[in-house]
Amino acid sequence: MQRRSFLQSSAALSLLGLGACATTSIPSKAKVVVIGGGYGGATAAKYVRLLSDYKIDVVLIEPQAAFISCPISNLVLGGSKQIGDVTTAYTGLSKNHGITVVRDMASAIDTAKKTVTLAGGATIAYDKLVVSPGIDLMYGSIEGLQQAQAAGQILQAWKAGAETVALRRQLEAMPDGGVYAITIPEAPYRCPPGPYERASVIAGYFKAAKPRSKVLILDANPDVTSKGPLFKKVWAEQYKGIIEYRGQHKATAVDAKAGVVKFDVQEDVKANVLNVLPSMRAGAIAVQTGLNNMANNRWCGVNYQSFESTAAKDVFVIGDSIQIAPAMPKSGHMANNHGKVAAAAIVAQLSGWEINPAPMLTNTCYSFVDNKNVIHVASVHEYVAAEKTFKTVAGSGGVSAGPTELEGVYALNWASNIWADSLV
C-alpha cells in the first residue's frame, strides 16, 4: 500500500474510533508507563527504549488509533491538505521499538501505589510514569460554548482530527460574502502563532474561492502574541480587505443559533462560521491526579532539569500541560524536546547514573500564511542550574525576514522529520 493511502486509511480509522494498533495483552507491570501519544509522550516512549539500549520495558497508553498532528493541520482547513496527510500510525513504535501500545484511556493514577488504571478496568504498575495529556479546553469559561460545541455548531479544532474535518466543511458551506471569526484566549495557550496562521490560511482560501468573504480575528490579548510584525505585514499586503484584526476582545458568551459571540466590553460580533477558542489548562488526567499545582491550578509544575513533577515523585509531566519556563512556547517541537530530556533523566535514574546537569532544548515553529508561503520563529533554551529554569540562549534563533515558498518546503520537511523522530 502506498504511504499516502496508508495514512488516509489510518486517519479514517482514527476518526471512526476504530483500528488495530492496540495490544491484545495488557501487562500488569512496566518499568516505564507513558500516558498520551502526542509529540511529547510518543517521543518519551521511543527515547526511553533507545537510550536504554532497549533494556527498559515501556507501555504507551493512547486512546486514538493513530497520531494526528496539530502542526500542519491548518492546511486541511485551507484545503491544500487532507487529514490523512497529517496522520501517522502508532505501529512504528511497537514494531520498530518494542513498545507496548495500549489503546485505552488512563482513568486514574495512584501515585502512592504507583499504578495507572485504564478506562477498560485493567491496572498497570510502574516504576516511572510520564504524563503527556496535552491540553483541555475550558468550555465553561465562555457561556453557552459547551452546548454549542456538543451540538457541532461552534467548533475549535484545536485537537486535530474529526473537528478539523468538520470545520473545513463549515467553511466550504459558507456563502461567498460570509464571515469567519476566530476568537483567541489570553496567553498561555497551545501553539501561540496557531490562530494567526489559521486566519491567514483561511483568508488564502477565501481569496481564491470566496473573494467577498471576510476573516475576523478577535484576540483577548492586546496584540498578536507571536510573529506579530510578520503576520501584520502579510495581512496588510496580501489580505487587505479580507482580514480584520481586533485586539482586547475577550469572548464571554456565544449564541450559536444567532451566530453571535459576546465580549467583556466590546460589542457583539455576528459571523457565519464561529471558531471560538476558550482558555486552556493541563489535560484531565493531570488535573484529576493533582499534578496541576501552578497558575491557579491550570498548569503542572516540574523540575525543569528532568521534568519530574513537583507534586509527585517518579511522575514526569511534559508537553503543553506544564507551567512553561520564560519564553518557552507550548509547541509540538518543544514537547518533542521535553520528551527527550525526560527520557534521558528516567534512563539515568533507573540505571543509577547522574542526571544531565545542563540539558538543552530547541524550538522551531513554522506558520503558513497561505498554502505555500511560510514564516518561522526559532530559539534555543539552556537549563540554568542556579535559577532552576530554562532561559533562551542570547543570540539564538530569531524570526524570518518574510514569507517564502522555500520556507514552505522547510516546514513540510520539518513535519516529516519530527513525525519520524517521534513515531517511527
pLDDT score at 17: 38
Question: How many CA atoms lie less than 13 Å away from 216 in the CB half-sphere?
Answer: 21
Closest to 46 measured CA to CA, from 110, 99, 8: 99
Tens digit of pLDDT per residue, the chain (424 long)?
Answer: 233 333 443 333 333 333 334 554 788 888 999 999 999 999 999 999 999 999 999 999 999 999 999 999 999 999 999 999 999 999 999 999 999 999 999 999 999 999 999 999 999 999 999 999 999 999 999 999 999 999 999 999 999 999 999 999 999 999 999 999 999 999 999 999 999 999 999 999 999 999 999 999 999 999 999 999 999 999 999 999 999 999 999 999 999 999 999 999 889 999 999 999 999 999 999 999 999 999 999 999 999 999 999 999 999 999 999 999 999 999 999 999 999 999 999 999 999 999 999 999 999 999 999 999 999 999 999 999 999 999 999 999 899 999 999 999 999 999 999 999 999 9
**C-alpha distance across the termini of the chain, in Å:** 17
- Contact at 8 Å (CB) between 193 and 226? yes
Rounded Cα distance between 211 and 241, Å, is: 10
Dihedral sign from CA coordinates of 59, 64, 70, 75: positive
- Contact at 8 Å (CB) between 247 and 223? yes
The alpha carbon of residue 230 and the mean position of all alpha carbons in its chain are separated, in whole angstroms, by 22
Calculate the alpha carbon distances from 316 to 8, 69, 240 in Å: 33, 22, 46
Q: Is the peptide bond before 222 cis (omega within 30 degrees of 0)?
A: no
Closest to 31 measured CA to CA, from 144, 108, 171, 129: 129
Rounded Cα distance between 173 and 323, Å, is: 39
| Predicted TM-score of the model (pTM) | 0.93
The three-class DSSP label of residue 264 is coil
Q: What are phi and psi of 3, to 5 degrees?
A: -55, -45
pLDDT score at 95: 97
pLDDT score at 250: 97
pLDDT score at 93: 98
DSSP assignment letter at 330? -
The three-class DSSP label of residue 128 is strand
pLDDT score at 30: 87
Residues shown for the chain:
424
Calculate the alpha carbon distances from 161 to 30, 158, 183, 337 in Å: 30, 9, 20, 23
Calculate the alpha carbon distances from 403 to 119, 234, 302, 316, 407 in Å: 46, 8, 36, 38, 7
* Helix H or strand E encompassing 332: helix 332-351
Closest to 160 measured CA to CA, from 250, 66, 89, 30: 66
Quickly list H helices, 239-321.
284-289
Cell numbers that stand for 331 in this block: 509547541
